[in-house]
Homo-oligomer: A and B are copies of this chain.
Amino acid sequence: MHYGNLRRSLWLLLEPKARTKRGLSWLNICLLLLIVMATLTAIIETEPLIVRGRQHIFSGLQYVFGTVFAVEYVARLWVAAEVPGDEGPWAKRWRFVRSPSAIIDLIVVLAAFAPLIAGDVASLRMLRLVRILGLARLGKLSAAVHGISAAVYSRRFELGVTAGIAIMFMVFGATLLYWIEGEVQPDQFGSIPRAMWWAVVTMTTIGYGDAYPITAAGRFAAAFIALSGVGLIAMPTGILAAAFSDAMQSHHHGPHGEDVDLD
């Protein structure tokens, strides 16, 4: 039974949902750190000033990370037979292969071994970040992730209406500036889609400075749109604040408050 025991132990280490204790297993923590390091490497790798003359280091690292994640993929495929259920081991494995997270893992592994096809394919390694997101749903942060999701979900209609109002204000503002400044600054306001860029940059209060009205009428209209942009930020913030206040009160002070974070 040695072989079965090994598979079962590995499954308990790899599958967070199978753990009886809270928190992540040491193996998953190692994999989490490896994902962060592989992501950082993939980010740094795109910078020519750093990579120049050190291509062999980065391609070496890429192969190392790729091999580790390939081994992990094969291991997960093997231990998938331990998933509870009536199906045979290969049916369970085929179910694992078709799961979205396994597909992402496979793409990431293949991307690691595709250095010959440069550029865009290499960026697929960023997909690993989705794995971090998936693991964060499990450990100590699970209560927080659940609370935030519940708060946002409970106000999805209010947030949707706010987003709708914001989009209408943007279309309205872009149309207005297109009328007023369209002929003065055709590059920036010569069409509603062009003026939309200005509207987004203004109502989110970013204000790059690549597009702004220069006529008195345009500035007057833009000031009105800009001030309503304060509302664009104040409305969802207010809705979320109310949602967090309501949703988390039960979480923090409610009957389930005591069984959080017991690991």
Contact = CB atoms under 8 A, between A and B. Distances in A.
Nearest to A152: B235
Contacts of A209: 207-210
Give the interface SS of chain A, mostly helix, strand, loop or mixed: helix
Nearest to A42: B192
A161 interface: yes
Given A48-B190, A144-B161, A158-B244, 6 more contacts: A39-B171, A43-B196, A44-B193, A123-B192, A126-B171, A141-B164
Q: How many A residues touch the partner, as a band? A: 35 or more
Interface of A: 39, 42-44, 46-50, 120, 123, 126, 129, 132-133, 136, 140-141, 143-145, 147-148, 151, 154-155, 157-158, 160-162, 164, 166, 168, 171-172, 175, 178-179, 190-194, 196-197, 200-202, 204-210, 212, 216, 219, 223, 226-227, 229-246, 248-249, 252-253
Q: Which 8 A-B pairs have the closest CB atoms?
A: A238-B240, A206-B207, A144-B157, A209-B209, A241-B241, A242-B244, A242-B245, A238-B241
A187 to B, nearest CB: 11
A162 B245 CA distance: 16
